[in-house]
Amino acid sequence: MNESIRSLFPVTQKFIYMNHSAVSPLSKPVRDAMVGITDDVMRNGTGNYDDWYRTYELARTAAARLVNAQAHEIAFMPNTSAAISAIANGLELRAGDNIVSCDVEFPANVYPWMRLKEELGVTLKLARERDGRVDPEEIVSLIDDRTRVLTLSWVQFASGFRSDLARIGKVCRERGVFFMVDAIQGLGALELDVERDSVDAFAADGHKYLLGTEGAALLFVSDRVIDRVKPTVLGWT
């Protein structure tokens, strides 16, 4: 690693850090930005609100550029669970519909859909992991005429297996199935192109390979499907 970049991460002075799949260490610029805004509020109150807003929009634009999206398709959320729940709760599903996933998903991409099973009577159809892999052909074979959502981790949290999003997304697009991706284990380390990969929505907190802090997540919702997702938690902005 270039020493000028390495020097931005004080953790390297003590550790060979290999836990980014859990929580990454902060860099000096991230720490400085966090301290900077708290100091600004302490000294100036809301006097520099316009500067904060410009920073928010720059971050939104950068996030969109990272995944080949448009800035207005990116929302900020407190974590991956909240972002996935925004999609699960916002889709209009009814008894008899089904959701396709796999049997080794992280709970953040399980519990929001399980709640719909209990409350609405939708069915969860789960492909099985075999030898550390989730076969894309098996998972798309579970799609039928009542499948409304296919939700899957880009990279599985336990095995590290990476799913072929473009292959799965293409089938979802052809069948009119909403393709939701939990991208937290890959975003920042791997290349995601929401157009190429036919991703309708993804969620990803910033505290892994994006090298950010916990409590700041990205939610992407494509213009193509935005009318299918109704906001269920509303705020003044």
- For residue 145, being part of any structural domain is answered with yes
Angle at 211 between CA 209 and CA 217, to 5 degrees: 80
- For residue 93, being part of any structural domain is answered with yes
- For residue 198, being part of any structural domain is answered with yes
Query: How does the average pLDDT of the chain come out, rounded?
Result: 96
Residue 237 has pLDDT above 80, yes or no: no
pLDDT computed for residue 90 by the predictor: 97
The residue among 201, 143, 134 whose CA lies nearest residue 174 is 143
CA distance 34 to 213: 9
Domain carrying residue 189: 52-228
CATH number at residue 207: 3.40.640.10
Residue 3 has pLDDT above 80, yes or no: yes
Helix (H) / strand (E) containing 149: strand 147-153
pTM of the entire predicted model: 0.95
What total of structural domains would you count in the chain?
1
Per-residue confidence at 44, pLDDT binned at 50, 70, 90?
Answer: very high
pLDDT computed for residue 24 by the predictor: 96
51-69 pLDDT, tens digit per residue, is 999 999 999 999 999 999 9
176-201 pLDDT, tens digit per residue, is 999 999 999 999 999 999 999 999 99
